[in-house]
Amino acid sequence: MLEPLDICVMLGGPSEEREVSLQSGAAVADALRSLDHRVSEIDPVDGEFRLPPKTDVVFLALHGTYGEDGTVQGKLDALGVPYTGCSEAVSRLAFDKVAAKRACSRDGLATAKDCVVDALGVGLPDGLELPLVLKPVCQGSSIRLEFVDSGDAWPSGLAKSLEGGGRVLVEELIGGREVTVGVVGGQLLPVVEITPKRGAYDYANKYTTGATEYTCPAPFDAEATHRIQHAGELALAAIGGGNCARVDFIVRPDGEPVFLEVNTLPGMTQTSLLPKAAAATGTGFAELCQWLVELAVEHPPLAATG
């Protein structure tokens, strides 16, 4: 157990996930104060910040661009201040859904058939079977996630997913059960199953109270559970490793986990998925926050990647 530290919780920020980040950061700050740490809070809403002079470690409660794409990690590396989560390089790779998917596929994980589109006016992709899932390549929280089940729906779905610019990852929809696996300090947490009561696990179902059921530990047999957890471990290793991540999969009816994405700064509200998984092992929210701080201090992400 560390002595009380000067911890800066970074929250909010300039991304489209700002509101969720503010909730994560407030919950983390309260938890760390309950453990007698000296906690300050910084909201880099314009992409700039100045840390308090005696900061021992930064707890990153940012989500989306700037927070998860390696930007803030690079700034903190330059300052020589340890932080929670993954390194700049790993964060940057994980945030790019295409790059992360290719890395995981090379290491033997199953992935959906896909293509990448970067402009309007492109026709329905050849070689992909409907229905399709459209995801901005560099975005989180299911923002601008679109489902296309017919050729007629393709132009509007693509336009919505391309709002704001960038590239869109187009994947064949995989049927099965949606799950997530947390990995903290090399320890695999219980599998969480995600079951929207209606429709897909989009932004609305993710953040509307009562819209989605979460089951932890997920009701798989021991062999299937091990297979899913091992896939989570392999996925994090494929992108370079780190102190904390959450890996999402669709589990096919035959039990094969199909990789979706790696989240290097998972949500940290009291009801977020990583805290739910930790709670299933008897680790409370404040204990989880303390664990992440200890990992950051004892095994800084920069050191882990050389």
| Catalytic residue annotation | 17, 141, 207, 246, 248, 261, 263, 267
SS3 content of the chain, % helix, strand, coil (to 5): 35, 20, 45
H helical segments located in the chain: 18-34, 71-79, 88-95, 97-106, 154-162, 203-207, 222-238, 273-279, 285-298, 301-305
Phi and psi for 169 in degrees, rounded to 5? -90, 120
Tokens of 196: 């929207």
- Cα–Cα distance list, 304 to 75, 166, 300 (Å): 17, 30, 7
Give exposure, 83-106, as e/b (b: 16+ Cβ within 10 Å).
Answer: bbbbbbbbbbbbbbbbebbebbee
Residue labelled with tokens 């290491």: 107
Tokens of 261: 């994405």
3-state secondary structure 150-203: CCCCHHHHHHHHHCCCCCEEEEECCCCEEEEEEEECCEECCCEEEEECCCCCCH
Angle at 82 (CA atoms; ends 102, 103), nearest 5 degrees: 5
Cis peptide before 136 (omega within 30 of 0): no
DSSP summary character for residue 210? T
CA 272 to chain centre: 11
Cis peptide before 131 (omega within 30 of 0): yes
| Residue 36 buriedness (CB in 10 A; 0-12 / 13-18 / 19+) | exposed
